Amino acid sequence: MAQLGFWFELLSKELSATAAGPLDFAIPSLRQEEVLDLSIGVLKRISSVNIPFFESVSLAGWSLIASVGTAGSVLAQESSFSIDATGKKLEGAFSLNTAGVSALTDNQEVYFELIFSNGVGYYGGRFPVKILKAVHTTGALIPIAGDRALGAAEAVRTYVLKEMRPGERIIWQSDSGRKFEEWVSDDGIKQFVEVV
């Protein structure tokens, strides 16, 4: 899990790496299939002349929706964030392992969008980010077409544990074409008879 933490300034809608500023943080390139460990705080400008320029906002009662996508098209989204122990940051896991992100081309620029709500109003911004395609992808994204994992002979000999409910029926067919019906009767006794 990759860690990504930063601060969002309410007025300018810019990002900072620290609570003290400056507002010059850019979201780094993200990788297809990555799960980000997000930690995002909110800043409010209190001065343009004297230090400190910003103060962190207490996020009690705030919510966050983080999204990756193009204008009008969400490719990945997360809205389950919890407040950290200080009450100043929202934290949560954000998965980029989605079909939409996987469909992007390598190094394609999309938006990383943040929408904060405090129950009174919405504050949001979107920031350009590049998605890097993985050289190696997990099996979860690779559809297996046909009988690739097992040959036909091996597939016939594969056994699966199946818990049957009373009244549920299964019909088995042997290589020779004989059919058998199996079920559990209402009194819990397994029945197995040849179908003729």
- Mind listing the pLDDT tens digit for each residue in 136-163? 655 554 444 444 454 555 555 555 556 6
3-state secondary structure of 67: strand
Shared domain check, 181 and 89: no
Pairing mode, strands 169-173 and 179-184: antiparallel
Same domain, 94 and 169: no
The reply to whether 117 and 185 lie within a common domain is: no
* pLDDT on residue 164: 64
**The predicted structure's pLDDT at residue 152:** 52
d(CA 18, CA 75): 28
Sheet strands side by side (includes 108-117): 30-31, 122-132, 108-117, 63-70, 73-78
* Domain co-membership, 59 together with 118: yes
Residue 146 lies in a domain: no
**Number of domains the chain contains:** 2
Report if residue 79 sits inside a domain. yes
Domain that holds residue 165: 152-195
| Whether residues 38 and 130 fall in one domain | yes
CA-based nearest residue to 124, from 81, 54, 67:
67
CB 101 within 8 A of CB 131: yes
29 located within any domain? yes
Residue 177 φ/ψ region, left for φ over 0, alpha for ψ in the -120 to 50 degree band, beta for the rest: left
> Are 14 and 107 contained in the same domain?
yes
Q: What are 76-99's pLDDT values in tens digits?
A: 999 999 999 999 999 999 999 888
Pick the more confident residue, 180 or 52.
52
| Domain at 89, CATH number | 2.60.40.3350
What pLDDT score does 64 carry? 96
Kindly state whether residues 14 and 91 are assigned to the same domain. Answer: yes
* Domain-embedded: residue 165: yes
Residue 103 sits in the same domain as residue 161: no
Residue 13 has pLDDT above 90, yes or no: yes
Give 103-167 as a DSSP string: TSPTTEEEEEEEEEE-SS-EEEEEEEEEEEPPSS--GGGS---SS-SS-HHHHHT------PPTT
Q: 120, 113, 91, 90: which is closest to 13 by C-alpha?
A: 113
- Predicted local confidence at residue 157, as pLDDT: 53
**Residue 125 above 80 pLDDT?**
yes
3-state secondary structure of 59: coil
Q: 118-134 as b/e, with b when 16 or more CB fall inside 10 Å?
A: beeeebebbbebebeee
Query: Is residue 147 one of the residues assigned to a domain?
Result: no
- The CA R_g of the chain, rounded to the nearest whole Å, is 27
| 99/178 same-domain check | no
Residues 133 and 159 placed together within one structural domain of the fold? no
137, 162: one domain: no
- 105 has pLDDT over 50: yes
Considering the entire predicted model, what is its pTM?
A: 0.67
Distance CA 73, CA 19 (A): 31
61 shares a domain with 14: yes
